[in-house]
Structure 1
Amino acid sequence: MKTIQGKMFTAFGLTILFSILVIAYSSYYSSARVIERNATTYISDRIQGANTNLQSMVEETDNIAKSIVIRDLIHQSLLSHAEAPSLEWFQQKKVVEDFLASMAAFKNYVRQITVVGQGDVVFYTGYRAGNSEFIASLWQDPLIRENRRHLIFDPSGNGKIMLVRPVLSNGSLIGLCIIDFDLNLIRQVYEIEPLAGTLVAVVDENGSILYDSRSERIGSRLEDQQMLALASAVQPGTSKSSKLQMDNRSYLAVSTRSTYTGWTTITMVPLSVLLSEVKGIGSQILTMTAVVLAVVLMVSIFLSKQMTKNIKRLHSAMKLVREGHMNARPRIHNDDEIGQLSEMFVSMMDHLQELLKKVRIQEKEKREAEYKALQAQIKPHFLYNTLNTIKYLARIQHASNIEDISGSLIELMRYAIDPKREMITVREELEQVNRYVRIQRYKFLDRIAVVVKAEDEVLDCLIPKLIVQPIVENAMNHGLGTTDREGTVSIRIYGDGPARLKLIVTDDGVGIASGKLEHLFDEGNDTSGFSQSGGIGLSNISERLKLAYGEPYGLQIYSQKDIFTTVELTIPQVRRRMEHAAQSYLG
């Protein structure tokens, strides 16, 4: 996405999509956890209720067993020596079995009561049934002699559960009271399938499956390691939940151990069934996500289009300007950032047009100035050639003064009009001064003396050309030329430390009044140079030095009326090996 509208559209879409997905996942995860906790609590409560019901039934059955084992009738019948088939044996058997039947009355969960004695003494209710080998094994079990309730599971009898109490006489085991529970008892008690596909298993302490919703597993041993680990991890009277993987399905398993029977009940609910409602909620959330995302994207398209409309207008105007339509302006009247940017662009273009107009005017003036400069350049060359002719004629006619003046003037002009040499040595500048003085000697008739004192060390220093000669010219014309008395112009050049160069020109002429000295460099002030004669003024020299070297360097004037005038120049010391750098520095 290269456009702002595309980036805004993408940013809005991704932000909303991410936010909704986070909310949807959080809602789904929270709902799933709540449902799992509620399911665990519900199953635990149901199992606790089933354990309570079973406990109540077992206690009632145990009370029946207690009533049976303490009856004298039972003791006498077990110790009787009546042999079958005799009248006494039949009478005794009928009385005992009628008693047992009365004890089992109204207890639908009691399937049969059997009292077994030594030998073949057996009393029972209903039809006689049972595994003689299993009963014989009970006689051999030393724990069975303990005078307490024994809750026993017989896997050989279709998963029969029985309550056994010993019949004791004077501490001796004379018989067993066996009460068989109805085979459907466990199923009725633990049939707590809250959802379709729920698996329920009841396991005793030995790992035998007392009940399983998959009936074919009843009577077998629990072999699944995950269920064994879960059953062994739970403490009596507590519940524990975990997630198991079985037959390629995920289950929420809740294990509860009864403190009364010691049996462990494991209930496994398929997570797919348990979370089906959550998945429905998830589907609704996804549908709402799609709808909300579509609405948000439509709104983002509209908003981004509105927000980028003015940007596109500004872009179109800039494109037109780039193509050369300088009068192109965007039509934006908003007060927001884009409106402010548009105002700045319009202001910038207006200012740019003004600058272009000025540049066109300046280019026109420059071309005119170049034309005039070309015309003006013809005059010095013409004058230069003319002076050479005069010098040649003066030599022929032996007019030495004219030859001397014209020769000096030729050298002055040659340095002045040479555009390739902006920097010359102090020695060369002094030669220019000497040539100028030789010309002026004929004007002032040697009444003005020029004294030069220059250190040898600074004679090869480079300085801008025409900065000493114009000052000497000023001193002779303005300082001494306005009087008829003799005077002196002294030139002193020396090094001020290793980095600075001093050039001082002093005359003992008319001086400058303090009021005029303050305004000497004011624009249009003719006293600062030869504006009337076309020479180079002091203000020109001052500006040249400031532009070339900066504020620490430049020109200073000291004067006292009718006594002296001193012009002091301060510039950096530049040697010949630095000439190239100096030329670049001066432009």
Structure 2
Amino acid sequence: MRNWGLKRKFIIIFLLFITLPTVLYGILIYTQTTEVVKNQVEEDIIEMLDKDEQNLLSIIRDVESMSSYMIYNKDFRTFFKTSEETSLSYKSSIEGIKGYFTFQLMSNEYISSILLTSATGNELTFGEPVFGDESELNQAALEGKGSPVWSDTYEVTSEWNGEKYVISLSRVINDLNQITQPIGIVRIRLDQEKITKNLEVKQGNYLVMSKSGEIILHSKQELLGKKYNDPAFLNWVNHSEDLTYDFTNNNDDYKAVKKKLSGTNWTSIVIVNEEDLVKELFTVQNSIRNMILLLLIFGAIAFYGFYRSNIKRVIELTDKTQQLEKGNFSANVDVSSNDEIGQLGMQFNKMVKTIQRHIDTEYKLTIRQKESELKALQNQIDPHFLYNTLDMIRWTARLENAMETGQQIEQLSKVFRMNLNNGKTWVTIEEEMVYINSYLELQKSRLGERLAISTFIDEQIKHAFIMKQFIQPLVENSIQHGFKELPRQGIITIRCYQVKDQVWIDVIDNGWGFEKDKQDTGYAIKNLKERLAIALGEPFGLLVLEPEEGALVRLILPLLWDPNNIEKLGEHS
């Protein structure tokens, strides 16, 4: 990130510290609001189920109380036990029963009809006339031995309204004197539709389900009496302690909330579509989205304004600096304000003018002076003449059997030939080491056993290019200064090896070493450092290290394989 441009950094900062927190905060608010609303709806449903439970239980208690009243009431006992329909007591009991049932039918609209059947075979019907197969209910009542037995929802045919669904209570009425002796059966039928209408249903679908999974109450008539066949759902209804259950049907998510009806094997359930739960969140969702968009728009406007007034000017200054680096000394920055960036622009313009002035005076003058000196030096001696003359002397020495003299002249010829090198500035490491070995052989001829030589070249880099005569000044410095009056044999070790994308050349001797205050004052070292700085620049150069004995000078050079690309080196230094 340190190497990123200001524009990129500012965009990242804008995204990370403005856009992302705004979006995340909006999502957090929406998520928490959604959760709160869902919990509130769930609480409302549970509260509604509690109310509906009380309503249903009230109906159940009232109907069971009606049946219990028939056990002790004289009129009902007379009806159930009297076989003579013409007797005055029988007729009187019928009138009392009619009055009681008329009151109940008028007071409780959910009661559809009432059927009394005596053990003597008499039947008495009140309310809506219906017929259907209820034999299983009679058997269940007999098995109940006087306890109230509630049926699941079943279908009957009404003479008034056709087919309809009812729930009924069936109960055996036993003799008070012989409590195990049935004297009749009472059946009170309840209108399922009217019961459902009396229940409070604010959201979703309300239903009452039996333990077997049969639907007892439901607002949709076509589902009454049907069984719910989802095993997982039935397991939750009958066995789970969790009040809520989430499930998916036809790619829609639903939430179910249940409430056991105490005293029965029924469970009241509300099923709500999750999408309906969050409909009232649309306003909040829109407000959050609009708030996020508004903040992002304001942030984008602020970013654009800051970019135009600051970052763009810095980028322009950077572009002009790069133009200056490439040699365009006419680069000039437009200064539109006097703030820090404006002052920096003015200083840049002033610097460009100063550099241009120095180039026009000192640099160009120095170049011309160096060119004149070089030309004068070249005119002093013809190197080709000198090389050819030495070659002639070498062959003459061989003809006279002066082999050692001939070898020395040959080494000197190699030195001159490498110096010429067809005017080339760059040579391979292998060629440079041939030149160094020739130079060292000449020095060894002069010094004899006082000089020992050791060289090493990494085979992988021997064809890499370096500037010629980079190593020779260091070797010469070791011989002239490091070994002067040395009481032991002088050893020079030269190592050439690769370190990543660089070539390291170590020149090591066991001489007197460098004095700390004179490491950079020697002419050879100083001149070589200047050549390296001009030719290569950072991070390349010369290091003077301090071993325990002698001296170690390290050349750090670029790893170059093509001399034609050497001119590009300065663009990256």
**Aligned AA (2:226):** S
Higher mean alpha-carbon deviation, 326-335 vs 92-101, is at: 326-335
Spell out, residue by residue over 1:152-183, the C-alpha distance to the aligned partner (whole angstroms, 9 max, x if none). 23503333122333311212122223223344
Alignment partner of 2:367 out of 363, 374, 399: 363
Matched, 1:499 2:490: yes
Matched, 1:165 2:171: yes
Report SS of the residue matched to 2:229: coil
Instruction: Give, in whole Å, the separation in 2 of the partners of 1:215 and 1:163.
Output: 20
Shift of 1:53: 1.4
Cα RMSD (Å)? 4.7
Where in structure 2 are the equivalents of 1:210-221 lying within 5 Å?
Answer: 210-221=216-227
Spell out, residue by residue over 1:494-551, the C-alpha distance to the aligned partner (whole angstroms, 9 max, x if none). 76122289xxxxxxxxxxxxxxxxxxxxxxxxxxxxxxxxxxxxxxxx999955599x
Q: Tell me if the contact between 2:246 and 2:253 (Cα under 8 Å) persists in the aligned partners.
A: no
Instruction: Give, in whole Å, the separation in 1 of the partners of 2:255 and 2:441.
Output: 103
Spell out, residue by residue over 1:447-470, the C-alpha distance to the aligned partner (whole angstroms, 9 max, x if none). xxxxxxxx97449999979x99xx
Alignment partner of 1:304 out of 291, 297, 307: 307
Report SS of the residue matched to 1:39: helix
Instruction: Give, in whole Å, the separation in 2 of the partners of 1:100 and 1:543.
Output: 127
Shift of 1:75: 2.4
Partner of 2:33: 31
Q: Tell me if the contact between 1:9 and 1:297 (Cα under 8 Å) persists in the aligned partners.
A: no
**Aligned AA (1:40):** E
Instruction: Give, in whole Å, the separation in 1 of the partners of 2:53 and 2:252.
Output: 28
Report SS of the residue matched to 2:107: coil
Shift of 1:45: 1.0
Instruction: Give, in whole Å, the separation in 2 of the partners of 1:20 and 1:544.
Output: 60
Partner of 1:326: 329
Instruction: Give, in whole Å, the separation in 1 of the partners of 2:329 and 2:278.
Output: 69
Q: Tell me if the contact between 1:69 and 1:177 (Cα under 8 Å) persists in the aligned partners.
A: no
Instruction: Give, in whole Å, the separation in 2 of the partners of 1:545 and 1:321.
Output: 33
Alignment partner of 1:242 out of 214, 234, 246: 246
Where in structure 2 are the equivalents of 1:112-123 lying within 5 Å?
Answer: 112-123=113-124
Partner of 2:507: none
Shift of 1:242: 1.6
Shift of 1:63: 2.1
Where in structure 2 are the equivalents of 1:529-548 lying within 5 Å?
Answer: 546-547=522-523
Q: Tell me if the contact between 2:141 and 2:171 (Cα under 8 Å) persists in the aligned partners.
A: no
Spell out, residue by residue over 1:244-291, the C-alpha distance to the aligned partner (whole angstroms, 9 max, x if none). 324x54333222222233322222222333222323433443344334
- Shift in CA distance, 369/223, structure 1 to aligned 2, threshold 3 Å: closer
Q: Tell me if the contact between 2:216 and 2:225 (Cα under 8 Å) persists in the aligned partners.
A: yes
Partner of 2:150: 151
- Shift in CA distance, 549/230, structure 1 to aligned 2, threshold 3 Å: closer
- Shift in CA distance, 72/549, structure 1 to aligned 2, threshold 3 Å: closer
Where in structure 2 are the equivalents of 1:69-218 lying within 5 Å?
Answer: 69-82=71-84, 84=85, 89-102=90-103, 106-126=107-127, 129-131=130-132, 133-134=133-134, 136-141=135-140, 144-157=143-156, 158-169=164-175, 170-171=178-179, 172-194=181-203, 198-218=204-224
Q: Tell me if the contact between 2:137 and 2:170 (Cα under 8 Å) persists in the aligned partners.
A: no
Instruction: Give, in whole Å, the separation in 1 of the partners of 2:280 and 2:79.
Output: 63
Spell out, residue by residue over 1:540-577, the C-alpha distance to the aligned partner (whole angstroms, 9 max, x if none). xx999955599xxxxxxxxxxxxxxxxxxxxx99xxxx
Alignment partner of 2:320 out of 317, 320, 327: 317
Alignment partner of 1:271 out of 274, 292, 295: 274
Spell out, residue by residue over 1:393-450, the C-alpha distance to the aligned partner (whole angstroms, 9 max, x if none). xxxxxxxxxxxxxxxxxxxxxxxxx998998978998xxxxxxxxxxxxxxxxxxxxx
Instruction: Give, in whole Å, the separation in 2 of the partners of 1:89 and 1:543.
Output: 141
Spell out, residue by residue over 1:181-224, the C-alpha distance to the aligned partner (whole angstroms, 9 max, x if none). 34444212334033xxx322211223221111211112232335
Instruction: Give, in whole Å, the separation in 2 of the partners of 1:130 and 1:330.
Output: 104
- Shift in CA distance, 68/327, structure 1 to aligned 2, threshold 3 Å: same
Instruction: Give, in whole Å, the separation in 2 of the partners of 1:175 and 1:344.
Output: 116
Instruction: Give, in whole Å, the separation in 1 of the partners of 2:33 and 2:452.
Output: 97
Report SS of the residue matched to 2:212: coil
Partner of 2:533: none
Q: Tell me if the contact between 2:210 and 2:265 (Cα under 8 Å) persists in the aligned partners.
A: yes
- Shift in CA distance, 156/544, structure 1 to aligned 2, threshold 3 Å: closer
Alignment partner of 1:63 out of 52, 59, 65: 65
Report SS of the residue matched to 2:366: helix
**Aligned AA (1:499):** G
Q: Tell me if the contact between 1:117 and 1:176 (Cα under 8 Å) persists in the aligned partners.
A: yes
- Shift in CA distance, 364/53, structure 1 to aligned 2, threshold 3 Å: same
- Shift in CA distance, 193/361, structure 1 to aligned 2, threshold 3 Å: same
Matched, 1:223 2:229: yes
Q: Tell me if the contact between 2:165 and 2:191 (Cα under 8 Å) persists in the aligned partners.
A: no
Q: Taking every aligned residue pair, what percent have the same amino acid on both sides?
A: 15
Report SS of the residue matched to 2:152: strand
Larger radius of gyration: 1
Report SS of the residue matched to 1:156: strand
What residue ranges of structure 2 are gaps of 5+ in the alignment?
157-163, 383-415, 420-437, 454-471, 493-517, 527-549, 552-573
Higher mean alpha-carbon deviation, 208-217 vs 220-229, is at: 220-229
Instruction: Give, in whole Å, the separation in 2 of the partners of 1:277 and 1:427.
Output: 100
Q: Tell me if the contact between 2:80 and 2:120 (Cα under 8 Å) persists in the aligned partners.
A: no
Partner of 1:400: none
Instruction: Give, in whole Å, the separation in 2 of the partners of 1:544 and 1:4.
Output: 41
Q: Tell me if the contact between 1:152 and 1:162 (Cα under 8 Å) persists in the aligned partners.
A: yes
Partner of 2:263: 260
Q: Tell me if the contact between 1:252 and 1:270 (Cα under 8 Å) persists in the aligned partners.
A: yes
Partner of 1:282: 285
Shift of 1:303: 1.0
How high is the TM-score relative to the length of structure 2? 0.59
Shift of 1:52: 0.8
Report SS of the residue matched to 1:164: strand
Report SS of the residue matched to 1:265: strand
Q: Tell me if the contact between 2:138 and 2:170 (Cα under 8 Å) persists in the aligned partners.
A: no
Instruction: Give, in whole Å, the separation in 2 of the partners of 1:106 and 1:359.
Output: 119
Shift of 1:375: 8.8
Report SS of the residue matched to 1:153: coil
- Shift in CA distance, 129/69, structure 1 to aligned 2, threshold 3 Å: farther
Instruction: Give, in whole Å, the separation in 2 of the partners of 1:297 and 1:64.
Output: 76
Partner of 1:54: 56
Q: Tell me if the contact between 1:74 and 1:96 (Cα under 8 Å) persists in the aligned partners.
A: yes
Instruction: Give, in whole Å, the separation in 1 of the partners of 2:267 and 2:76.
Output: 35
- Shift in CA distance, 52/310, structure 1 to aligned 2, threshold 3 Å: same
- Shift in CA distance, 427/8, structure 1 to aligned 2, threshold 3 Å: closer
How many residues are matched? 415
Shift of 1:51: 0.6
- Shift in CA distance, 124/351, structure 1 to aligned 2, threshold 3 Å: same
Report SS of the residue matched to 2:183: strand
Where in structure 2 are the equivalents of 1:410-449 lying within 5 Å?
Answer: none
